[in-house]
Amino acid sequence: MLDATSSYNPMDRRIPVDDRTGQHIVAETARRSENRYGNRPTMKDVAARAGVGLKTVSRVVNGEPGVTPDTERRVQEAIDALGFRRNDSARVLRKGRTASIGLVLEDLADPFYGPLSRAVEEVARAHGALLINGSSAEDPDREQELVLALCARRVDGLVVIPAGDDHRYLEPEIKAGVATVFVDRPAGKIDADVVLSDSFGGARDGVAHLIAHGHRRIGFIGDMPRIHTAAERLRGYRAAMEDAGIPVEDAWMSLGVTDPQRVRKAAEDMLSGPSPVTAIFAGNNRVTVTVVRVIAERGRPVALVGFDDIELADLLQPGVTVVAQDAAALGRTAAERLFRQLDGNLVTPERIELPTRLITRGSGELPPAR
Amino acid sequence: MLDATSSYNPMDRRIPVDDRTGQHIVAETARRSENRYGNRPTMKDVAARAGVGLKTVSRVVNGEPGVTPDTERRVQEAIDALGFRRNDSARVLRKGRTASIGLVLEDLADPFYGPLSRAVEEVARAHGALLINGSSAEDPDREQELVLALCARRVDGLVVIPAGDDHRYLEPEIKAGVATVFVDRPAGKIDADVVLSDSFGGARDGVAHLIAHGHRRIGFIGDMPRIHTAAERLRGYRAAMEDAGIPVEDAWMSLGVTDPQRVRKAAEDMLSGPSPVTAIFAGNNRVTVTVVRVIAERGRPVALVGFDDIELADLLQPGVTVVAQDAAALGRTAAERLFRQLDGNLVTPERIELPTRLITRGSGELPPAR
DNA sequence: CCCGCATCTGACAACGTTGTCCAGGCTCTA
DNA sequence: TAGAGCCTGGACAACGTTGTCAGATGCGGG
């Protein structure tokens, strides 16, 4: 957790105390900051104003039966007059469910995760739950920190896009009843529901597509193989090459490369060595974008297939051929499975794999440069 | 609120009761679902196991002083053995702050809001707070529903990208101490902090840029004028035209158009009427994308400047000239202002306007087709 | 007129945590 | 060795809500 740069420190609020007397210092400012929830009215206040009992207010607020219209009206008036709003924190404490679920992903700013998150939110909304988002920034420690913070809030369920590869820390939580679904990458070292895209098959098909168009020297640029999707896509690449009987040279593969600078260098190296590649398979959307730039700058056409669709890919010259995965479907599927767990329809953990789709737009159909 | 399609109904959980006896039916399944938090251990359990008092456990958990190392060790062992995790719901109830803030935006799947949300999250994280996201889908009722749900959770603060134009419903909340900052569009009918991009100036500059390159018949396609940014951008368009002494024809303006079908039609109409426009100013990222498509299909070059940057805009032929706003800076600025409110450094509500930046890439510098 | 019943209402405990405050044991000093 | 003072630990109330249950009220019938 980063250091707070200010005095807002919600989880460690100390009330100033006079050293000698032990009395609280209730100066005006201190009093204000001490007012929990800024002095919001409670059901007790509403009850007092309406001249009824506490429980009657509760009944009105929750639409429970057994309140005469006249009483209900009086209570409602008091509620409006005071601007009362039920405190769901207390409600949660009493009821045991928070009606909220957590989503831990890599980076909300990544165009792949926006739609995924939105899809999860929609499903949550249909079940009356709110969504708490957290970005792990691909850091396993931060992932764990986030997940545990969400568990401390007692979210009813968790959708996790893993950054780390060991999720045993979640075992007590799952045992305690926190519904959990992993998305995009499988959980590490525990048995849990997983919703994935078919990275292996998608990559294999994409590379096979290049091979079918006459390429033999095909480069692969992808993320660190410790990331499951990256490893699977690499495996797909190798499988396609092997199926075609093409031995892969080390110089054709660049792994663990993700920031634009290094992707750029990797692409340039592949394209300019003694036996340059004639086509590149890009392992994810960010890599694809950078490779498109490099190719555009070089002038000479190079075939390209990318994993993940990217916006405007169809408008480039040539259009970018991609292996598309449906981020929204991933999120929706995962969330639906989560709520099925919460409904108690517990089946054994399952691995759901969604198909990918090859979208041909031109760049993947270029013949090898001679 | 949509209907829940399942039995997960966290906020209205009824326990099955036998009609005749009034006794609870405690069949195995019912018992399980009745277990709050799935039977998680509490501090009481930890205290019993460690053979210490409840408060001592609390002290250990919160790192408060006044516990001997030996006692601390015993407590820690009990915590680990039971898999105890502090229940922040109860903590929140006691402490009065939730260490969470709410962000209501239009659509998390929109590439403009992803970075904004992420920026808010980072600031929140630096202050030890979690972020609850909600998408209003540009529906004022849904916005209000979301905001009030967040208030019921007692979020410490709210960052709102307004869908509606009347936020008086927030007055009691703000009075009760919920820090609130509006982003991207101003609040309606209440006085509150606002962080905006300079939509007017940006649009004016963008249109002036087209005029400077010789255009006089310039089209404008934008969102409904009830959306503040859309209205401001239209105003900027009109101002630039007026400054140049160019009377605007109605046929050049298309307002309230946002879905691709209708944007497409609007663009085609403008480009093919009796006095077709030679340039188009697109009011937001989605409009820009569609207009780029239409122009590309027509073959004949048409000048274009779009509001909002779009990915890969530099790689198109020609590159798309845009008026860029910094979504992350909007989010960061708003969140920082929010926490400044929470720190108690309350100043009077302020309107902060962030500058936009014209990025020339080619499409805005095309001369008018003769 | 009184009883039984149904309906409405409110007192009370509980949820899990933290703030307050006091008790008991220890150390240190005179 | 007694007293003062400190350190540690725990009992208790409170946060705002909901579930339980019993009491109050009103109504109709015997």
Question: Do B210 and B314 fall within a single domain?
Answer: yes
Specify if A93 maps to a domain.
no
Domain of B186, CATH number, reads: 3.40.50.2300
Residues 52-111 on chain B lying near strand D, CB distance under 7 A: 52-56, 65-68, 70-71, 90, 93-94, 96
Nearest to A154 among B1, B89, B312 (CB): B89
d(CA B87, CA A97) in angstroms, rounded, equals 12
Shared domain for B164 and B311, answered yes or no, is: no
Minimum-distance nucleotide, CA of B43 to C1': C16
Q: Which nucleotide is nearest to A96 (CA to C1')?
A: C15
Last residue of a domain, one of B37, B56, B86: B86
The residue with greater pLDDT, B67 or A209, is A209
Q: pLDDT above 90 covers what percent of chain B?
A: 74
Lowest-confidence region among A299-303, B229-233, B238-242, B248-252: A299-303
Is-contact B194 B351, C-beta < 8 A?
yes
- Reported as a pLDDT band with limits 50, 70 and 90, residue A27 is very low
Whether residue B119 contacts residue B328, with contact meaning beta carbons closer than 8 Å, is answered with: yes
Separation in Å: D20 C1' and B37 CA: 21
Q: Do B134 and B102 touch, CB atoms closer than 8 A?
A: yes
pLDDT surpassing 50 at residue A13: no
Asked whether the beta carbons of residue B110 and residue A114 sit closer than 8 angstroms, the reply is yes
pLDDT at B194: 97
Residue A91, in any domain of the structure: no
Nucleotide nearest to B94 (CA to C1'): D15
Alpha carbon distances (Å) from A187 to A61, A165, A331:
42, 7, 16
- Residue A352 vs residue A64, higher pLDDT: A352
Structure tokens at A203: 């990559």
Q: How far: B69 CA to D6 C1' (Å)?
A: 17
Residue B167 is which amino acid? H
Residue with tokens 């255009």: B215
Region B29-42: mean pLDDT is: 52
Q: What is the pLDDT of residue B36?
A: 47
Size of interface A-B (CB pairs under 8 A): 268
pLDDT for the residue numbered B317: 86
**Average of pLDDT values for A174-181?**
91
Q: In total, how many domains does chain A have?
A: 3
What's the CA–C1' distance between A66 and D25, in Å? 14
Q: Give the pLDDT confidence score for residue A344 in this predicted structure.
A: 81
The pLDDT value recorded for residue B42 is 92
Contact state of B10 with A339 under an 8 Å Cβ cutoff: no
Mean pLDDT of chain A: 88
Q: Do A176 and B134 touch (CB under 8 A)?
A: no
- Report if residue B19 sits inside a domain: no
Neighbours of B305 (CB within 10 A): 31
Measured between beta carbons, the chain A residues lying within 8 angstroms of B304 are: none
* Per-residue confidence (pLDDT) for residue B16, from 0 to 100: 35
Chain B residue with CA closest to A293: the answer is B315
What was the pLDDT predicted at B32? 32
CB-nearest to B176 from A40, A99, A177 is: A40
* Chain A 128..167 CB hits on strand D (< 7 A): none
pLDDT, mean of residues B230-249: 97
pLDDT at B76: 92
Which chain D positions have some atom within 7 A of a protein CB? 7-21
Mean pLDDT of B236-257: 96
Q: Residue B51: which CATH number? A: 1.10.260.40
Q: Is the per-residue pLDDT at B21 higher than 80?
A: no
> Pseudo-torsion of CA A356, B291, B325, A4, nearest 10°?
-20
Q: How does DSSP assign B262-275, residue by residue?
A: HHHHHHHHHHHSSS
Residue A311 to chain B, least CA–CA distance (Å)? 7
B37 → closest Cβ in A33, A177, A292: A177
Instruction: Specify whether B233 is located in the same domain as B159.
Output: no
Has residue A272 been placed in a domain?
yes
pLDDT at residue B275, rounded to an integer:
84
- Same domain, residue pair A237 and A157: no
Q: Å from B81 (CA) to D8 (C1')? A: 24
Nucleotides of C under 7 A from a protein CB: 7-12, 14-21
pLDDT at residue A149, rounded to an integer = 94
* Contact status, residue B116 vs residue B183, Cβ threshold 8 Å: yes
Domain boundary among A54, A86, A118: A86
Find the CB nearest B10 among A7, A156, A172: A156
Per-residue pLDDT, averaged over A196-207, amounts to 98
pLDDT at A258: 82
Q: Measured between alpha carbons, how far is B271 from B279 in angstroms, rounded to an integer?
A: 9
Angle, alpha carbons A233-A239-A243 (nearest 5°): 150
Within this chain, do residues B180 and B169 fall inside the same structural domain, yes or no? yes
Task: Find the nucleotide nearest B53 (Cα to C1′).
Answer: D10
Task: Please check whether residue B6 lies inside any domain of the structure.
Answer: no
The torsion of the CA quartet A261, A266, A269, A272, rounded to 10 degrees, works out to -90
Q: What percent of chain B clears pLDDT 70, i.e. is strictly above it? A: 89
List CB contacts (< 8 A) between B97 and chain A: 10-11, 13, 36
* Structural domain containing residue B54: 28-86
User: Quick check: is A208 in a domain?
Assistant: yes
Question: Does the pLDDT of residue A125 top 60, yes or no?
Answer: yes
Residue A6 confidence class, pLDDT cut points 50, 70, 90: low
The answer to whether the CB atoms of B108 and A100 lie below 8 A apart is: no
Tell me what the pLDDT averaged over chain B comes to.
Answer: 88
Of the candidates B6, B99, B148, the beta carbon closest to that of A339 is on: B6
Q: How far is Cα A308 from Cα A285, in angstroms, rounded to an integer?
A: 5
Dist. CA B308–CA B230, nearest whole Å: 12
Confidence band (pLDDT; 50, 70, 90) for B207? very high
CA A268 / C1′ D8 distance in Å: 68
Using CA atoms, how far apart are residues B18 and A155, in angstroms rounded to an integer?
Answer: 30
Under the banding of pLDDT at 50, 70 and 90, the label for residue B39 is confident
Contact in structure between B318 and B366 (CB atoms under 8 Å): yes
Rounded Cα gap, residues B27 and B321, in angstroms? 67
Which burial class, exposed, middle or buried, applies to B292 when counting CB atoms under 10 A from its CB (0-12, 13-18, 19+)? buried
The contacts found for B172-176 with CB under 8 angstroms, 24 or more apart, are B172/A83, B172/A85, B173/A83, B173/A85, B173/B147, B175/A38, B175/A83, B176/A37, B176/A38, B176/A39, B176/A40, B176/A83
Does B13 contact A97 at a Cβ distance shorter than 8 Å? yes
CA of A332 to C1' of C11 (A): 47
B24: pLDDT strictly greater than 70: no
- pLDDT over 50 at A22, yes or no: no
Q: Do B76 and B180 belong to one domain?
A: no
- Whether residues A85 and B152 touch (CB distance < 8 A) is answered with yes
CA distance A233 to A252: 14
Cα separation, B215 vs B212, in Å, equals 7
Residue of A nearest to B87 (CA): A152
Residue A4 counted as domain residue: yes
CA separation for the pair A242, B309 (Å, rounded): 42
Q: In terms of DSSP bridges, do strands B351-354 and B357-359 run parallel, antiparallel, or are they unpaired?
A: unpaired
CA-to-CA distance for B331 and B322, rounded, in angstroms? 20
Q: What mean pLDDT comes out for the span A229-244?
A: 97
Q: What is the pLDDT of residues A91-104, one digit of tens each?
A: 999 988 899 999 99
What confidence category does residue B22 fall into, taking pLDDT thresholds of 50, 70 and 90? very low
Percent of chain A with pLDDT over 90: 74
Query: Which of B's residues 91-150 have CB atoms within 7 A of nucleic strand C?
Result: 91, 93-95
**Which chain B residues are within 8 Å of A312, Cβ to Cβ?**
289, 292, 310-313, 316
3-state class of B102 per DSSP? strand
Question: What's the pLDDT tens digit per position in B90-135?
Answer: 999 998 889 999 999 999 999 999 999 999 999 999 999 999 999 9
**CA atom of A155 to C1′ atom of D22, Å:** 36
Mean pLDDT confidence for A156-177? 92
> How many Cβ atoms from other residues are within 10 Å of residue B286's Cβ?
20
Amino acid at B211: I
Q: Is the pLDDT of residue B5 over 90?
A: no
What is the structure's pLDDT at B370?
Answer: 64
Question: Who contacts A150 (Cβ-Cβ below 8 Å, separation ≥6)?
Answer: A102, A104, A132, A134, A158, B130
Q: What is the pLDDT of residue B9?
A: 60
* pLDDT(B11) > 70: no
Say whether B88 and A135 touch across the interface (CB within 8 A). no
Nearest neighbour of A128 by CB, restricted to B11, B39, B173: B11
Residue with more model confidence, A39 or B337: B337
| Alpha-carbon span B102 to B129, nearest angstrom | 10
Residue B213 lies in a domain: yes
Evaluate if residue A26 carries a pLDDT over 90: no
pLDDT band at B30 (very low <50, low <70, confident <90, very high): very low
Report the sign of the C-alpha dihedral through residues B108, B359, B184, A104, in that order.
positive
Q: Are A58 and A205 in the same domain?
A: no
A321-338 pLDDT, tens digit per residue, is 999 999 999 999 999 999
Reduce the secondary structure of chain A to three states and give it as a string.
CCCCCCCCCCCCCCCCECCCCCCECCCHHHHHHHCHHHCCCCHHHHHHHHCCCHHHHHHHHCCCCCCCHHHHHHHHHHHHHHCCCCCHHHHHHHHCCCCEEEEEECCCCCCCHHHHHHHHHHHHHHCCCEEEEEECCCCHHHHHHHHHHHHHCCCCEEEECCCCCCCHHHHHHHHCCCEEEEECCCCCCCCCEEEEECHHHHHHHHHHHHHHCCCCCEEEECCCCCCHHHHHHHHHHHHHHHHCCCCCCHHHEECCCCCHHHHHHHHHHHHHCCCCCCEEEECCHHHHHHHHHHHHHHCCCCEEEEECCCCCHHHCCCECEEEECCHHHHHHHHHHHHHHHHCCCCCCCCEEEECCEEECCECCCCCCCC
Residues A205 and A318 in one domain: yes
Residues B204 and B187 in one domain: no
Judged against a pLDDT cut of 90, whether residue B216 lies above it is answered with: yes
Instruction: Say if residue A121's pLDDT is above 90.
Output: yes
* Residue of chain B whose alpha carbon sits nearest to that of A173: B83
Q: What is the pLDDT of residue A311?
A: 86
Residues B343-358 have pLDDT tens digits of: 887 779 999 999 999 9
* B189 shares a domain with B307: no
Is the same domain home to A79 and A108? no
How many angstroms separate the Cα of B66 from the Cα of each of A19, B47, B53, B58? 18, 16, 13, 11
Calculated CA dihedral for residues A60, A65, A69, A72, nearest 10 degrees: -10
**Residues A156, A230 within the same domain:** no
Q: Which two tokens stand for residue B157?
A: 């603060």
Are the beta carbons of B311 and A289 separated by less than 8 Å?
yes
